[in-house]
Amino acid sequence: MVIAVAAAAGCGAVVRYEVTIWGKKRWPNLPLATLLVNLLGAFLAGTFFGLFATWGGSVILLAGFCGGLTTFSTYMTETFILLKNRRWGAALSYWLGSVALGGGALVLGLLLGKWIG
């Protein structure tokens, strides 16, 4: 099980890396790539939980793939950088928006997972 979780986390990290490279080219002054991977991860976590809540292997997808894909530490660092650069509105929008949108993405994914499953 540990090897499967590690492999899934590695796959999630590769997706995060690719989205980050893509996002930094498009939005060099905003942390939208991190927001995107965190929203995607929340949506997928909700979907996986809705689909596989009773399957013991769901930890591979949730802790593994979604854990490797999402990043709380980068979210906090980018919020701090916005504050350090006195971009108060952007920092507050990013900080609160990530939580609100992430919660919404999780609920939508959960509803989708239950609907499919």
Is 67 annotated as belonging to a binding site?
yes
Cβ atoms of residues 17 and 54 within 8 Å: no
Is 12 annotated as belonging to a binding site?
no
Closest CA to 109 of 29, 38, 51, 27: 51
Counted residue by residue, the chain has a size of: 117
Q: Which residues are annotated as a binding site for Na(+)?
A: 67, 70
Q: List, as residue ranges, the binding site.
A: 67, 70
